Amino acid sequence: MKVLLINGSPRKNGCTSVALAEVAKSLESHGIATEAAWIGNDPVRGCQACRTCAQKGARRCVFDDDVVNRLIEKAEAADGIIIGSPVYYAGVNGALIAALDRMFYAGGAAFAFKPAAGIASARRAGTTPTIDQLNKYFLISRMPIVPSNYWPMVHGSLPEDVTQDAEGLQIMRVLGQNMAWMLHCIEAGRAAGIEAPQTEQKVFTNFIRPLS
Ligand SMILES: Cc1cc2nc3c(=O)[nH]c(=O)nc-3n(C[C@H](O)[C@H](O)[C@H](O)COP(=O)(O)O)c2cc1C
């Protein structure tokens, strides 16, 4: 079993990466493989609302010139997903939002029923709305959210700060342990014949009227 850890920061080896590395270490010590992915520094296009992906069930974004489809492919191959974001103006950083909107809209099926967690790194404030924002992608995608012993956040301006955030690092280790436990439970359930539920056909309305 493998967990994909996506670093949404433009700083590859910044604070978010320290937090993700701590989760990865914990997962591996509990028998789960990990794969680190970085969003990179190249421009990431926002969703154009063309809905080509939805119409064709393509599981790919029509725009193939940035990191989005590569991340969908990695998510398809993973059993669990963790997404780390630096806090920008008390929310997820812009490039990561651009990527997540398209990843989840085009690649929703690649995420369904996979345990997930969003983690936030801030100098000081805005972590909880950032975590809430990340959780929105998971909840609409039928992904169980993995808990820790606190909301999953670390603090720092530089990676060295995060290495001194003893509570933050513990939150990351507990998160890794809990995700490993959840994945082992899902595996045991599957071995006992319990598969993910067959979901009903989605009902789409504009509040009360069917969409034409
Ligand atoms: C554009 C921008 C906006 C930021 N906004 C916030 C903020 O609202 N609250 C905060 O505590 N830190 C803020 N920060 C600081 C980063 O969130 C913080 O240093 C984070 O740990 C950096 O993670 P990274 O090294 O992985 O990029 C901001 C940084 C930038 C560049």
| Residue with CA nearest ligand 1 atom 31 | 88
| Number of domains the chain contains | 1
pTM (two decimals): 0.96
CB neighbour list of residue 187: distance below 8 Å, 6 or more residues apart: 1
**What is the number of residues in the chain?**
212
Measured in Å, residue 49 CA sits from the centre of ligand 1 at 29
Q: How far is CA 180 from CA 24, 76, 129, 184, 187, in A?
A: 10, 18, 26, 6, 11
Residue 212: what pLDDT? 66
Ligand 1 centroid to residue 45 C-alpha, Å: 21
pLDDT in tens, 82-119: 999 999 999 999 999 999 999 999 998 899 999 999 99
For 23-33, letters b (16+ CB in 10 Å) and e give bbebbeebebe
Helices 94-107 and 127-140 pack at an angle, to 10 degrees, of: 10
Is the pLDDT at 198 greater than 80, yes or no? Answer: yes
Structure tokens at 166: 């003893």
Among 43, 141, 29, 133, smallest CA distance to 83 is for 133
Nearest ligand 1 atom, CA 157? 19
User: Which of 136, 118, 139 has the alpha carbon at shortest distance from 127?
Assistant: 118
Q: Give the residue whose CA is nearest to atom 9 of ligand 1.
A: 125
Higher pLDDT, 201 or 103: 103
DSSP letters along 28-71, please?
HHTT-EEEEEE--SS--PPP----HHHHHT-SS-S--SSSHHHH
Our mutation pick for probing the ligand 1 site, out of 87, 133, 154, counting the most ligand atoms within 8 A of Cβ, is 87
What CATH number does residue 79 fall under?
A: 3.40.50.360
Q: How far is the CA of 143 from the centre of ligand 1 (A)?
A: 27
- Cα dihedral 121, 124, 129, 131, rounded to 10, equals 20
Question: Of 147, 67, 82, 74, which Cα lies nearest the Cα of 121?
Answer: 82
Provide the 10 A C-beta neighbour count for residue 55: 8
pLDDT tens, 26-73? Answer: 999 999 999 999 999 999 999 999 999 977 667 899 999 999 999 999
* Half-sphere exposure at residue 44, Cβ-oriented, CA atoms within 13 angstroms: 25
Domain span at residue 63 reads: 2-210
- The atom of ligand 1 lying closest to the CA of 87 is 17
pLDDT over 70 at 5, yes or no: yes
